[in-house]
Each structure stands twice: as C-alpha cells, then as structure tokens.
Structure 1
Amino acid sequence: LGDIQKILKDNLPPYMVPAYIEYLPVIPMTSSDKADRKNLPPPTGQRVAADTEYFAPQTPTQELLAGAIGEVLKLDKVSIRDDFFKDLGAHSMLMAQFGSKLRKIETLPGISMRDIYLNPTVEKLAAHMDTLGGNGAATHGSEAGRRKDIPVAARKYNKAHIPARRDYYICGALQLATMFAFVILGLWVFVTGFEWTYEVRNDNGALYARAVMFSAATFLFYCIMPIAAKWLLIGRWQPQKIPVWSLAYYRFWLVKGFIQYSPMAAFIGTPLYNLYLRLLGARIGTGTVISSKVVPVCTDLISIGNNCVVGRDSVFPGYTVQGNIIHTGPVNIGNDAFVGDASILDVETSIGDGGQLGHVSSLQSGQTIPAGTNMHGSPAEPTDADYCKIERLHCSELRRWSYTLCLFALSFFVSAPLAVIVFYWFLPIATSYVSAGQGLADAPDLGFIKLATTLAPVTLLLFVIGLVLGLVFVASLPRLLNRFLEPGKVYVLYGFHNLIHNIISATSNSAIFNLLFGDSSLIVHYLKAIGYDLGKVVQTGANFGLDQRHDNPFLCKIGSGTMVSDGLTMMNMQMSNSSFSLNRVRIGEKNYVGNTIYLPHDSRAGNNCLLATKVLVPIEGPMLENVGLLGSPSFQIPRITKRDKDAAAEIDDAKRQKQLRAKLRYNIGTMVLFLAINWFYGLVMLVLMFAAARAYLQTGFSAAVHFTI
C-alpha cells in the first residue's frame, strides 16, 4: 500500500490522493457502467499511513497532539513531522474535530484554527503551543495570542446586569407608546401637508411652490428632531455604563432611533452629512468623506480628523454591549486616515495621522494604529498592504458644497414637487374609479371585500407593468450612462462623473430583482442583462445567492464554474477623500465564494480558490490558485474538492439537466408566489388607505388615526 500511495502522491494533487485503499473482489457499477460510489462498502482497514520516516513524539505536548490527531484520523501512530493534509489526508472538517478535541484538554493553552493551519505538523504545532504557555501568552502569529496581547478594555465588562421584571414592562410600555406617538406624528405631518398643498391643486405654480416648501420643511423637521432629542434627553455623551431596560436605556434607545432613521441618510458622503454629525456633537474635520450608512450614535465621543476616508458599511457607533450593559467610549481617527469598507471600530480605539485600517477589519477595544501605520485583520495587525493607492486630486470645499447643494436642489425643486404633481393628477382618477364618479366622501360604503375586488384587476395590471418597466429601466439606464465613464481613469469627487457613477450604482443594485431571481437558474441571465461578464456559464441552478452588490456592473467578471453565496460586494470603486476611479473586479474560474465577501479590484485570489465567509481577501503578494482562504487576515488552507467531484460524477449530464429543469419549475413557482404575496399586501394597504381617506373626509383626523392603528 505504501508503494501505491507514493505513486499516487507523485502523480496527483494532494486532494485527490485517497485516504483509504481497499481490495474489493467486485466493484459495484451503475447502469451507465460507472463505479457506483453510493454502494461501495465503508472502509474496513486503517487510513493509509504516510510513506515517510516515522519520528516518535519527544515531549508531553507532542504526545497529546499525536494522540488527538491519531484518534481523529483513526491512525495507530502519527509521525510528528507528517503534514496533516499532504501526508495524512486530513481536511477542514477533520481539523475542526481536532481543534475541538484540543480545546477540551485543560493542560494545553487556547488554540485557534488559524494556529492549526499555520502549523500543520505535530512538531510545529507543539512548538507553537509551548511558546503560548499554560496561560495562553501568545506570539504575534497566533489568533488567540493576538487577542491576549491587546489591552482589551472590554474584559472589565465581566459582570452581567440582570434586569428586574418590572424594568421589562416599564421600558417596553414606554417604547410601545413612543412608536405609537411617532406614527401619529407622521400621519399628522402628512395630512397637514396634503391639505395645504391639495387646496391649490388647480394652480400649478402655487402647487409647485407649496410642494417645494412642504417637502423641504418636512426634511428639516425630521433632521432637527434627532438633534433636539439628543441634546434634551442626553446632553453630551460621556463614557458610561447604561443597564439594558432601564430608563437611561429608554433614552438611549429613543435617541438612537431618531438619529439612525433621519432623512439625512440621503446625503451620506457629502459635507452636509458631516455638518449634521457636528450638530449632534461629533468632531469632524474638513475634507473628510464618510460613506458608511451606519450612523454613529454616541456622537460626542466620535472624533475624525481632516481629509479622512471612512468606507461604506463601516461601523463606529461609540458604544458596545456586553452582559446587558451598554458601554459608551471614544473613537478617535486622526488626519489623513483611511478606514476600509465593512470595518469596525470598537470603543476606546484610535487611528493616528495617516494610519490605515483595511477592509473587513476591526479595531478591538484598546487597540491603536500608530501614525503612518497600516493595519488589517480582526483584530487588526500590522501590514504592508496599501488600501488607498489612488492619486489624490484637488477638490475644494466650494466644489464639495456646490455638488451637495445641487443634489439638495434636485431633490426638493425637481423630484419632490414632480412626485406631488403626479400624485395629484392620479388621485382624482383613482377616487373616481373607486366611487363610480360620486366622490369618495359621498359614495356608499363598499366594504372591504367589494373595494378589494374593484381594485384587484387594476392594481394587478399596474403591478405587472411596473415589474416589466423596472427590469427594462435597470437593464438600460445604467448601460446608457456608463458611456460617460472610463475604467481606470481618476476623477475628482463631487462632480459630473461622480453623479453618473452614483446613479449607475443606485439603479443597477436592485434588491428586489436580486431577491426575485437569486438562487435560481434565472439569476445568471439577470446579471448578464445588467452588465456582468459571466463568460461560459456552468449552470448549477444556484450560481448566485439572493444578495450581490457592485459599484459598476459593467466592470464585474465572474469566471466559468464559479459559485457565489449571499452577500458578495464587488468593489469596483477606489476612493480617496478627493478622487475616485472605477476598476474591473474579477473572480477566477472554479471559485467558491462564501457569504459576505468584499472583493477589491486588486484581489490576489485567482482560479480554483475557496473564499470562506467574511474572509479578508489579500490585495498584495502572488496570485493565489488552488487554495482556500480563511480568516482575517487570511491564511491558506487546502482546497479540498474531491467529495464534490465524486458527488458530481454520480450524475450524468442528461440527469443533471433534468434536475435543473425541475428546480427551475419550483423556482418559478416560488417567484410567482412571492410576487403574488407582495401584490396582495399592496392591495390590502391600498384598500385600507382608501377606507381611511373616506373616513377622514367624513369625520376628520380621528378617523384616519383609527384606521392607521
């Protein structure tokens, strides 16, 4: 067996070398004259030992490790120099069992999967664990060690708060009453604005002026409300502890809700948004761009210097929660700093001037990035990778504010009044149709069923037309606008090209169509229609999940045979605080992309790579192929595909096509059901709106409130 094993290892990649070699008098066959793997008997012998020289364990740690790996792999003895993967044939699932077994041995220090993969022999892993010591004091390379090297302030949060039962009831009742009051306030604002604008509906000039004033006033009202609530209920945020379900927590919850649901989110990335954060107490420097839609809560504890970049989906709330206690604390970012996409800054963290925190990374409580230092990973560690390579161009404050004011004018002098005028044009037609020309207030009460029956055919027709027009819009408008952009060219922020890019990104990232077509054979056709380059598609029936995003769909290329899970973000845009460029992002052939992957344009992941969930994709070094990437920062693991290939080989092409057609039929059925449910929900809401409007016209505002409840 050793000779056979050696021949196989010399001629096959590691993942194809069998772990067991058995003699069978007869091999079961399928009707298509292939080996019937399902009916093969389970192995009766031992796993084939590596054809290497045996080195016995020399230390107590080596003996424990050799015994544990031997038990997992069902081997009588293991040489301390045998590689777990190349020599012993282990894979990720077996390594997970091995790691779990080691963590149950009290005499061994804490160990992570990263430690196991980076030290894949008993000898290396034992030496590494001996450096950790019994108390787990670690070296720089250890994930467990990095956590212990960091002065994590959160460790002092070790006493959990257990609220009294009355605290649940009191806080819950206050929250329910607040939500009810907020709904009534919103209804009052809508009714007041409707009455004021509708009375001049026949005078287009007056209607336009009132629509502009009302929309702008509503926007300002809902922007001022969080500021007023924060200063009245909290004052200035201080580092403190807030027990969950207490009255202090209720104030925290209320201010948090006001801040995070403010309409100012429409202007994220502009100096107007920075001004909003300053009014909430944050210290934001000039020339800083904050692209994250996650609005910080404890704003007085947030300090961001001049000319900084904070990437999208980054989180720096100024608080953390442990043991039912909210701990607030400072977050400081110096001048010219960079925070990558989807990164997290915990309380009591700081970035020095010119420092960088890479994408999909975290600064844990107590960590600091020194001035001029780049760090990435979770928790962050030093790196030579440069996450902001783009050339900076001159972008004056005048340009930034001019662009912002143009957006503001477009919103409140064009979009808002146009929506009001179209609504008032459509409203008489709808009410006349529902009331048979008698007027909504004078028409007899039709009842819910009859009103729904009356509206159903019209709403269904409009729903289908809207769906088709939406598909045409998503597939055509970005394609037309993309002619104005040149890949790789550096543009100044806050200009015409920036606006075109934002429109393309907003219109082509359709959550509803991703959800509709995702996890089905139709998703590849949809992505091709909006601009993705998918090459030769190997149809699996679920090539992509339900949620994929991009900056520019025409610069996204997916290799043949690649599978993508949910949450892929193609990072076509590279940005500084004054400039941006759009670049092609490519995923190689035969990749498997896990959940929540942010893929930069300079990714070093090539063909046949496995990108594990939330992995930090490397942007420097050689192009990687035939490996798996796990962790943040990432480390390589063997790319095991033998089981998948064996499973695929059991199905011939005709059977696979039959199964794909069957899956597509089920997918189409669920799509129709999904659309029908959404249409029916809209129909019910529309019927209730007509009923509420009729009651309001007959008996006033209280009836509208009743129907709203």
Structure 2
Amino acid sequence: MRALYLNPTVAALAAAVDGERRSADTEVPEPSAPAPQVLRVGRLGLVVCGFLQLLAAMAYLYITVLVPVAGDRWISQAPTLAFVLGRSAVVGVLAFAILAVLPIALKWILIGRWKREEFPLWGLRYVRFWLVKTLTVISPARLFVGTPVYPLYLWALGAKIGPGVSIFSTSIPACTDLLTIGAGTVVRKDASFACYRAYAGRIQTGTVSLGSHVVVGEHTVFDIDTAMGDGAQLGHASSLHRYQSVPAHQSWHGSPAQRAGAAYETPAPAECGTRKRLVFGLWAVFTRVVLLGGLALSLVNVVLGVLPSGDLAPDRLQFWAQMLPWHLSCWLASSWPASPFRSPCPGCWARSSRPALSIRSMDCATGCSGPSSA
C-alpha cells in the first residue's frame, strides 16, 4: 500500500517493483530462526480450565444480581419517591464500588505484581490470568475513559501513570504493572496496549513504556517489549512490533512502524490545572455513578416489582426463569431499532455527505509523504 502512494503512476510502480525484485535476488537470505514448538495441553487440562472459568463466571453473575436485589428490598420500603431515588443512588454507588474494586482486590491477591514471564495456556496460572483480565476488562471503570478518573484506576491496578495523562482508549491493559506512561502523554481512541500476547500455546507478558508528552494515534497496536521516547509520535493505524522503540522527538507510522517524513501537527495544549481536573472528575463520578446508578436501580425496582410470583431470591430457579424475558426484551429493544437502518442507510449517507479532507490533503496537513502502511 505504501508503494502505491509513493508511485502514483503505473510506470513508476513497475520500476519500483522491478528494483525491489532485483535487490532481493542479489541479497543473501539470512538463516531464519526455527519456529517455536507449539505447547499443547491435554483434554483434561482443557476441561478443568473450562470448568473453573464457568464457576468464576457464575459467581460473578451472582454478585452482580445479588447486590441490586438485596438493595431493592431496602429501596421498596422507602415511604416516598424522594426516598426511593435517594436509596437507589446509595445502592447504585455501592454496587459500582464493589464491581470496580473487585478486579483491583483480586489482582493483588491472585497475581500480586505482573512481571515479564511466560506460562502455558489452559493451566492454573492461565485461569488466574484470565480471571483478573476479564474482570478488569468488564469493570464499570470503563465509563471513565477520557476523564482524569481513568488514569487513577490504572494506577490502582499497578500501572505507572504520570500527571496530566489523557487516555481515550477503552482497551484496558491486562498486565498493568508492565505499563508506563509519562506526564502529559495523550493516548487516542482504540489504541491497544495489552502488555501480553498469546504465542505458540503460551501467554507472554512484556512491558509497554511511553515517555512524557507522547502522542499515540487512533487504532494503534503495541506489542510487548515496545517503547516510545519523550515527545515521540505514532501515527494512526500503526503498530510497534516486539522490541521496536521510537526514539525521542521522532514521528513514526506504518505496520511495522518506521520513521515518518515529518512530525504530525498537533494543537497547542490547552491550560488545564489540577482544579479543573478535580472538578471534572468529580462531575464524571456524580453523573455516571450517582445519577445513572440511581436511575438503573429505580428501573430494576420497577421490573422486580412486576414479577408474577414476586420471588426476589436469586438463588431460586424461578427467579431467573422470570428474569429471562426481561433480559431478552431489553436486548431486542436496544438492537432492533437500529437494524432497519443498517442495510439501506449507508448508501443514503454516502450520497448525502462527502469527506471534508481527502487522504492526500490529510497527508499534506500532517507533512507525511504517504499514509500509514498498515
């Protein structure tokens, strides 16, 4: 793809391809390293791992239902609507706190600090890894992505986060102790830095280190053992492969990334002191935990109040049988309204809208010789 943009005519592209072919013929191929042997696990190990994962999933679902159901009994005794909303807010905050703190507590209890290591899939070590990773990914703390609260959550999980960091990616790293982000760094939407990878039947963990005032573009991917120096930039849809490192104050793009022709233009940083961050973080907590949590618990109170049998015991099969139609109704109500628009509307939107910038104009604006090779 990069060759197409660098050679816009057929003649230039043919000459470039011919030159690359000749250089490849003259080069002496280096001996390739032998492929690692895939580590395989027996059927018993798969069964045991799956059974433990099923037990963990059922226990988590029980906790997520037990807290609101237990709180509903207290909410239903409220004498007035104001007390109902107030108690719903209290129970919502408590449920959010439990679900947000649970991954942190289990991480420090089951794992401690993540280290650079390698362990086989489907073993007991993998079960602990999977449990902590899954609870971290589905944590309600994802609601605070893009706010000053989110870096604090990663810090509580063991990540080394500097002041003034802005993270807009919902991809929560699994091995947080191996993540380092310097002061003033901006990580844009959909960037992935999991700090682990699955390879040849093993889980390999490694570091991802970002210096201060680094700019990470959208849809970028960091493999383990990668780094970016202070003031470095990584273009959108780019990737750093293992052991790659971007030197300080350089701009890279592509997959695998390589040095770009010029730096990406970024706007001057806006003034944002500690007071603004504190106020914005508190407002985010209030709106997304107190208000939304209270409204959600009020809705749960209404749903549970109209159950045919009035059975509010989640340890009984009848409770789940009666809740299943409500789950299906909510899922259909949220997914079906958008379905009729998925097939005809893309063509309508394409005819009624046009891009503000072409690819070439975006390259000229950023000073690059061509788009990412990803």
User: Normalised by the shorter chain, which TM-score bucket?
Assistant: 0.7 to 0.9
Corresponding residue number in structure 2 for 1:499: none
1:188 and 2:188 equivalent?
A: no
Output the amino acid matched with 1:231. Answer: W
| Aligned mates of 2:164, 2:146 — CA distance in 1 | 11
Output the amino acid matched with 1:265. Answer: R
Shift, 1:422, TM fit: 5.5
1:282 and 2:159 equivalent?
A: yes
Are the structure 2 counterparts of residues 282 and 378 from structure 1 closer, same or farther at C-alpha, using a change threshold of 3 Å?
same
Calculate percent identity across the aligned residue pairs.
29
Give the gaps of 5 or more residues in structure 1: 1-82, 88-115, 138-147, 149-154, 442-446, 468-510, 528-532, 536-556, 559-584, 587-601, 607-616, 635-709
Corresponding residue number in structure 1 for 2:185: 308
1:361 and 2:238 equivalent?
A: yes
1:377 and 2:272 equivalent?
A: no
| Aligned mates of 1:156, 1:227 — CA distance in 2 | 40
1:135 and 2:12 equivalent?
A: no
Residue of 174, 177, 191 corresponding to 2:52:
174
Are the structure 2 counterparts of residues 463 and 335 from structure 1 closer, same or farther at C-alpha, using a change threshold of 3 Å?
closer
What is the count of residue pairs matched by the alignment?
355
CA contact (8 A) 1:328 1:347 kept: yes
| Aligned mates of 1:334, 1:463 — CA distance in 2 | 42
Output the amino acid matched with 1:279. Answer: A
Shift, 1:378, TM fit: 0.5
Higher relative contact order (CA 8 A, sep 6+): 2
Corresponding residue number in structure 2 for 1:346: 223
CA contact (8 A) 1:604 1:620 kept: no
CA contact (8 A) 2:260 2:368 kept: no
Are the structure 2 counterparts of residues 619 and 231 from structure 1 closer, same or farther at C-alpha, using a change threshold of 3 Å?
farther
Q: Counterparts in 2 of 1:179-328, with a 5 A limit?
A: 179-200=57-78, 202-328=79-205
Q: Counterparts in 2 of 1:70-109, with a 5 A limit?
A: 86=10
TM, length-normalised to structure 1: 0.46
Shift, 1:604, TM fit: 2.8
| Aligned mates of 1:272, 1:402 — CA distance in 2 | 11
| Aligned mates of 2:116, 2:303 — CA distance in 1 | 53
Are the structure 2 counterparts of residues 331 and 157 from structure 1 closer, same or farther at C-alpha, using a change threshold of 3 Å?
farther
Residues 243-288 of structure 1: CA deviation (Å, up to 9, x unaligned): 0011100110011011101000000111211111001000011111
Output the amino acid matched with 1:356. Answer: Q
Corresponding residue number in structure 1 for 2:341: 517
Are the structure 2 counterparts of residues 230 and 426 from structure 1 closer, same or farther at C-alpha, using a change threshold of 3 Å?
closer
| Aligned mates of 1:621, 1:282 — CA distance in 2 | 32
CA contact (8 A) 2:216 2:236 kept: yes
TM, length-normalised to structure 2: 0.83
| Aligned mates of 1:177, 1:237 — CA distance in 2 | 24
CA contact (8 A) 1:514 1:523 kept: no
Are the structure 2 counterparts of residues 242 and 422 from structure 1 closer, same or farther at C-alpha, using a change threshold of 3 Å?
closer
Corresponding residue number in structure 1 for 2:373: 633
| Aligned mates of 1:284, 1:622 — CA distance in 2 | 30
Secondary structure class of the residue paired with 1:212: helix
Output the amino acid matched with 1:392. Answer: P
Shift, 1:414, TM fit: 3.0
| Aligned mates of 1:359, 1:311 — CA distance in 2 | 9
Output the amino acid matched with 2:373. Answer: P
Are the structure 2 counterparts of residues 258 and 427 from structure 1 closer, same or farther at C-alpha, using a change threshold of 3 Å?
closer
| Aligned mates of 2:152, 2:55 — CA distance in 1 | 31
| Aligned mates of 1:333, 1:231 — CA distance in 2 | 24
| Aligned mates of 1:229, 1:623 — CA distance in 2 | 46
| Aligned mates of 2:135, 2:154 — CA distance in 1 | 13
Output the amino acid matched with 2:28. Answer: G
CA contact (8 A) 2:147 2:284 kept: no
Residues 98-130 of structure 1: CA deviation (Å, up to 9, x unaligned): xxxxxxxxxxxxxxxxxx9574564x2443324
| Aligned mates of 2:30, 2:339 — CA distance in 1 | 45
CA contact (8 A) 1:362 1:378 kept: yes
| Aligned mates of 1:463, 1:194 — CA distance in 2 | 22
Output the amino acid matched with 1:128. Answer: S
RMSD (CA atoms): 3.5
1:163 and 2:41 equivalent?
A: yes
Shift, 1:180, TM fit: 1.7
Residues 427-477 of structure 1: CA deviation (Å, up to 9, x unaligned): 66x56xxx6xxx857xxxxx9xxx9xxx99xx99x999x78xxxxxxxxxx
CA contact (8 A) 1:355 1:374 kept: yes
| Aligned mates of 2:331, 2:30 — CA distance in 1 | 61
| Aligned mates of 1:378, 1:397 — CA distance in 2 | 37
Secondary structure class of the residue paired with 2:83: helix
Are the structure 2 counterparts of residues 425 and 302 from structure 1 closer, same or farther at C-alpha, using a change threshold of 3 Å?
closer
Secondary structure class of the residue paired with 1:224: helix
CA contact (8 A) 1:284 1:303 kept: yes
Are the structure 2 counterparts of residues 421 and 280 from structure 1 closer, same or farther at C-alpha, using a change threshold of 3 Å?
closer
Shift, 1:320, TM fit: 1.2
Give the gaps of 5 or more residues in structure 2: 1-6, 312-317
- Structure 1 or 2, whichever has the larger Rg, is 1
Corresponding residue number in structure 2 for 1:12: none
Secondary structure class of the residue paired with 1:376: strand
Output the amino acid matched with 2:220. Answer: S
| Aligned mates of 1:249, 1:264 — CA distance in 2 | 24
| Aligned mates of 1:361, 1:290 — CA distance in 2 | 17
Shift, 1:623, TM fit: 12
Secondary structure class of the residue paired with 1:320: strand
Corresponding residue number in structure 1 for 2:359: 604
Are the structure 2 counterparts of residues 371 and 86 from structure 1 closer, same or farther at C-alpha, using a change threshold of 3 Å?
closer
| Aligned mates of 1:205, 1:378 — CA distance in 2 | 56
Residues 217-266 of structure 1: CA deviation (Å, up to 9, x unaligned): 11111111000110011100000001001110011001101110100000
Residues 391-425 of structure 1: CA deviation (Å, up to 9, x unaligned): 21111121112112112112344333344445656
Secondary structure class of the residue paired with 2:359: coil
Shift, 1:388, TM fit: 4.6
